Structure 1
Amino acid sequence: MRAGTLNRRVRIERRDQTQDDIGQPVDTWVEVATVWCNVKMLTGKETLAADADVASATASIRVRYRTDITSDMRAIVDGVIFNILAPLPDLGGREYTDLACTAFSNNG
């Protein structure tokens, strides 16, 4: 894979559960990796839900080949949070993994 096409940094995070000061469970996000990527915004739409405009977009984030990314994780690129729907590794060439993602519909 040509390094020149990987022109953004992406932080991959997984959800973890810790406890606060009084022992209550608290969801937090823990960094798994920060790697170079290429982001392609595929579609975008704006809908009305619960009397509020809601924007959403689908994107493909390409990173070097990895097998440790799951759909329970999220990706953050330039401050934008992407929910990973499915990691799609290049099993034949083992060059890249595409992350099928959505953005703007929530904060991960």
Structure 2
Amino acid sequence: MRAGQLRHRVTFNRQSEDTDEYGNVKGAFEMLFTVWGNVRETTGKERVEAGSIENNRTATIRVRKSTQTAGLTEADQAVTRGETWNIRGIANVGISDAMLDLLCEAGVAQ
């Protein structure tokens, strides 16, 4: 992917490791780093579920693979274009696995 196609600033957040007395992670999300990426949003879908409308959207965010981005997990979040996205999957792509595709979802709980 050419550098000109990576035109969106993407900030990655990770939840701090604070746990409560029951062992649940309860910390706030803190910024890890910011890189350039390509955001390709798919069409949204709405469905009626238990009497309420659910609106969730998916996107693929492509970033260059680096020591920072190689450490991302599905527990992290991506923030771009004013929206917080939950990472649902990570795949190596490109020649020599030089890029990462992050399957992300917005409009749903972490």
TM-score of the superposed pair, with normalisation by structure 1: 0.82
The one-letter code of the counterpart of 1:13 is: N
How many Å apart are 1:91 and its aligned residue?
A: 7.5
The one-letter code of the counterpart of 2:74 is: S
Assess if the C-alpha contact under 8 Å between 1:82 and 1:102 holds in 2: yes
* Residues 1:75 and 2:95 aligned together: no
* Residues 1:37 and 2:37 aligned together: yes
Runs of 4+ in structure 1 off by over 4 angstroms are: none
Greater helix share, structure number: 2
CA-based RMSD: 1.9
* Residues 1:88 and 2:96 aligned together: no
Output the CA distance in 1 between the equivalents of 2:44 and 2:59: 9
Assess if the C-alpha contact under 8 Å between 1:9 and 1:77 holds in 2: yes
The one-letter code of the counterpart of 1:57 is: R
- The correspondence of residues 1-108 of structure 1 with structure 2, limited to 5 A, is 1-18=1-18, 26-65=26-65, 66-90=69-93, 93-106=96-109, 108=110
Identity of aligned residues (%): 32
Gaps of 5+ in 2: 20-24
Output the CA distance in 2 between the equivalents of 1:64 and 1:5: 11
Output the CA distance in 1 between the equivalents of 2:36 and 2:81: 12
For residue 93 of structure 1, give the secondary structure of its aligned residue in structure 2. helix
The one-letter code of the counterpart of 2:76 is: M
Question: How many pairs were matched up?
Answer: 102
TM-score of the superposed pair, with normalisation by structure 2: 0.80
Gaps of 5+ in 1: 20-24
The one-letter code of the counterpart of 1:49 is: E
Output the CA distance in 2 between the equivalents of 1:43 and 1:17: 34
The one-letter code of the counterpart of 1:95 is: A
